[in-house]
Amino acid sequence: MYYKGVYHLFYQHNPTAATFGDGIVWGHSVSYDLINWIHLNNAIEPSEAYDIISCWSGSATILLDGKPVIMYTGIDHNRHQVQNLAMPKNLSDPFLREWVKHTQNPVIIPSEVAEVDNFRDPSTAWHGKDGKWRIIIGAQKGDQGRAILYQSEDFVNWKLEDANPFYATDNTGVCECPDFYPVSINGTNGVDSSVESSSVRHVAKVGYLRMAHDYYFVGKYLSDEERFIADAKFTGTSLDLRYDYGKFYASKSFFDYAKNRRILWGWVNESDSEKDDIEKGWAGVQSIPRQVWLDNKSGNRLVQWPIEEVEKLRSKNISINGEKLRGGSILEVSGITASQADIEVLFEIPELENAESFDLSDVDPQLLCSNAPRSGIIGPFGLLALASKDLREHTAISFRVYKTSNKFVGLMCSDQSRSSLQNGLDKTTYGTFFDVDSNVRTISLRSLIDHSIIESFGEGGRVCISSRVYPKLATGNEAHLYVFNNGTMSILISKLNAWCMKEAEIGHVKNMSYKTC
């Protein structure tokens, strides 16, 4: 959340181990720019009967009087999941270091609409035209995943007004970390969570624990009927929209009042073993914060882009312009520290009409990325990130273009199969489809590389893939970055810019110098 000039990140943390278990707390860090962070003491810890086992996830809401409040899920002494409130002890403290639990906790307990052990993660609240606050809570009943709507006039006494779920999907298991917010139909600015007007659409997002993916649905919110009508129903196929088609889960958005934008965070967990996590003493990272807005061109999907503040970490720059990549060629982007880099590249496809014809109906893009021939007509082309000099290690972020009966379709892949010589890693290859504009004939890619994580944004952020990789050879100064084209048709690097990235300030004190790359 943003409060009086300071950004606050609360996160799930196990202070005693690099694994999940009982005793989960709310870690707390603050920032002035969402990039450099100061760690504070834990905000919420297990202490009462209603949260004695763990303090699980939840959300912050800024009330009408400007005061922040947190609603979180407590695992009580019976291991039931209940919802609790916490407020800042001292509102004059800009860091809000201390939080006090409400005397009426728990304020919501599971009813017949949810199972007692699958009722969690309350959303940020929105304020309706009738003066009532509303939240949704993730739940499960039988095998149906649910987001359940509750209402309150004072944020303390909450009522279930309708036994029918606000959102539900059959045969999915529990919905986690639900989110619900408006997006403007014009421009990239965000809007407050309570905005209702003809100038916005709404986004409902749920995470399915069974699949460990976050899915979102764009649609219409009928507040008078307490209904959300999504443009498309969940199908369990590649047609469903996801924030990110790689590792990205339990995400949360908030409205940034300072810059009128909606910011999205995502948890990117590890792809190594629990033993590895225990040895290194930590597990899981947050993605770079992303600004999110409605794709005004389509009107039915979102665009995500790293917040502008990350560019403050850019250092040495390398540029390549107008370079032709013939089929089977590879070009090194040298002169930067490739293990810690930001790359933006625009590929031009001169002969788009020569794309291979392919019937993509009922095709899983992730399987296609794994099983497609090494060489096609247009692609694969893209980046080889965190690559060793001999290319025995590399992660390929690539594109292919296909021609269907009525349009051109791109396939974006992130291939981790050769990312490391280390065994025992999850080296899943990720992929997704997107439409290619035949009038533009270009495809863009931006990748943020930071040692064990690669966040990639295709087509201006219309498709995103994050991956965790653990190279043994391609580390530090031994990491290399290449542009490649394995297709038979030539591709033009219209423009490429790569920056070495400085390290952000992360610590317990304010004034630390930047580490250079």
Contact 37, 506 (CB under 8 A): yes
Residue 274 DSSP class: H
Q: Report the pLDDT averaged over residues 86-111.
A: 97
Ranking 40-54, 194-208, 359-373, 393-407 by mean pLDDT, the lowest is: 359-373
Residue 499 to residue 517: CA distance in whole angstroms = 10
Chain mean pLDDT for the chain: 95
Residue 458 to residue 430: CA distance in whole angstroms = 13
Question: Residue 385: what are its φ and ψ, rounded to 5°?
Answer: -100, 155
Query: In the chain, pLDDT over 90 holds for what percent of residues?
Result: 93
- Strand positions, DSSP E, 388-511: 395-403, 408-415, 430-436, 442-450, 453-458, 463-468, 480-485, 491-501, 506-507
Identify the pLDDT of residue 511. 44
Residue found under tokens 């009532």: 132
Identify the pLDDT of residue 161. 85
Cis peptide before 165, with omega less than 30 degrees from 0?
A: no
Identify the pLDDT of residue 61. 98
Label residue 517 by pLDDT band (50, 70, 90): low
Task: Taking the CA atoms of 364, 370, 376 and 379 in sequence, report the sign of the dihedral they define.
Answer: positive
pTM for this model (two decimals) = 0.96
What distances in angstroms separate CA 140 from CA 58, 168, 175, 226, 235, one per listed residue? Answer: 17, 9, 7, 20, 18
Identify the pLDDT of residue 374. 85
What distances in angstroms separate CA 66 from CA 92, 151, 398, one per listed residue? Answer: 12, 20, 46
Q: Closest Cα to residue 50, out of 126, 103, 122, 112? A: 103
pLDDT digits (tens, 9 = 90+) for 322-354: 999 999 999 999 999 999 999 999 999 988 999
Label residue 297 by pLDDT band (50, 70, 90): confident
pLDDT digits (tens, 9 = 90+) for 223-281: 999 999 999 999 999 999 999 999 999 999 999 999 999 999 999 999 999 999 999 99
Label residue 508 by pLDDT band (50, 70, 90): confident
Domains recognised in the chain with CATH numbers: 2-308 (2.115.10.20), 321-501 (2.60.120.560)
pLDDT digits (tens, 9 = 90+) for 10-52: 999 999 999 999 999 999 999 999 999 999 999 999 999 999 9
Residue 492 to residue 49: CA distance in whole angstroms = 63
